[in-house]
C-alpha cells in the first residue's frame, strides 16, 4: 500500500491555524501517514499530536520544513491539488497507474509558486472553481482510496461510535 504524506505550503499561524489543523486532521483521518508544514508552528504540532495520542494511529507532523527541499528530494509520486490542474476524474486513472510506494500531496494556503507546478508529477484540479484546500484534500484522498480511509480503525484510547443522535465516545482499555 502506498504511504501518503501531505506538504502544506504557506501556513500563516495567525490566520490559518484552524484551516491547517483541518488539513492535518483530514490527512490523518483519510489515510495519510504524516504532514509537513512549511512554517514552524509548535502549537499546531501539539494540537495534532494530542489528537493522535487520544484517537490513535501513527500519524506524524513536522513543521518548519524547507518545502523546496522536501518537494525536490521526495522519492515518489508528487500530486499538487490546485483548481488549475487536470480534472480529478480524468487524472485519477493515470495517478493510480503511476503510483509508487510513496506519494506526496501538496496543498497551498496562498498563491503557490510556479516551481510546485513544475515539480509535481500531477497537477490535479478538484473542481475548477475557488474552494477550500481541506475539501480538495478530502475529496482526493477519498476517491484515491475508494472510501477505505473512512473505515480505518486507529486503535486509539478513544473511539467515536456511530449513532443516530447524540455523541457516543468510548474509552478503550490500554
Query: How does pLDDT run along the chain (174 residues), one tens digit per residue?
Result: 799 999 999 877 777 779 999 999 999 999 999 999 999 999 999 999 999 999 999 999 999 999 999 999 999 999 999 988 999 999 999 999 998 899 999 999 888 999 999 999 999 999 888 888 999 999 999 999 998 888 888 888 888 888 899 888 888 876
Domain edges within the chain: 3-171
Query: Within 13 Å, how many C-alpha atoms sit on residue 68's CB side?
Result: 3
Which phi and psi (to 5°) does residue 93 adopt?
-60, -40
What's the pTM value of the predicted model, to 2 decimals?
0.93
Which three cell numbers, joined as nine digits, stand for 63?
Answer: 513543521
Q: What CATH number is given for 3-171 in this structure? A: 3.40.1280.10
Which three cell numbers, joined as nine digits, stand for 87?
Answer: 480534472
Q: Which residues pair with 4 in a beta bridge?
A: 103
Which pLDDT belongs to residue 48? 97
Amino acid at each position: 500500500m502506498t504511504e501518503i504524506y501531505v506538504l502544506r505550503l504557506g501556513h500563516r499561524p495567525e490566520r490559518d491555524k484552524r484551516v491547517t489543523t483541518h488539513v492535518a486532521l483530514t490527512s490523518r483521518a483519510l489515510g495519510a501517514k504524516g504532514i509537513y508544514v512549511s512554517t514552524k508552528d509548535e502549537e499546531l504540532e501539539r494540537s495534532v499530536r494530542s489528537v493522535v495520542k487520544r484517537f490513535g494511529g501513527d500519524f506524524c507532523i513536522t513543521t518548519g520544513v524547507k518545502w523546496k527541499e522536501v518537494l525536490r528530494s521526495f522519492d515518489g509520486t508528487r500530486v499538487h491539488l490546485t483548481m488549475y490542474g487536470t480534472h480529478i476524474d480524468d487524472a485519477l486513472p493515470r495517478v493510480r497507474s503511476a503510483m509508487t510506494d510513496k506519494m506526496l500531496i501538496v496543498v497551498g494556503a496562498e498563491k503557490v509558486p510556479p516551481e510546485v507546478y513544475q515539480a509535481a508529477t500531477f497537477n490535479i484540479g478538484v473542481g475548477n472553481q475557488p474552494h477550500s484546500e481541506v475539501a480538495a484534500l478530502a475529496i482526493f484522498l477519498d476517491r484515491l482510496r475508494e472510501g477505505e480511509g473512512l473505515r480505518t480503525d486507529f486503535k486509539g484510547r478513544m473511539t467515536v461510535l456511530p449513532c443516530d443522535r447524540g455523541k457516543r465516545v468510548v474509552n478503550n482499555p490500554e
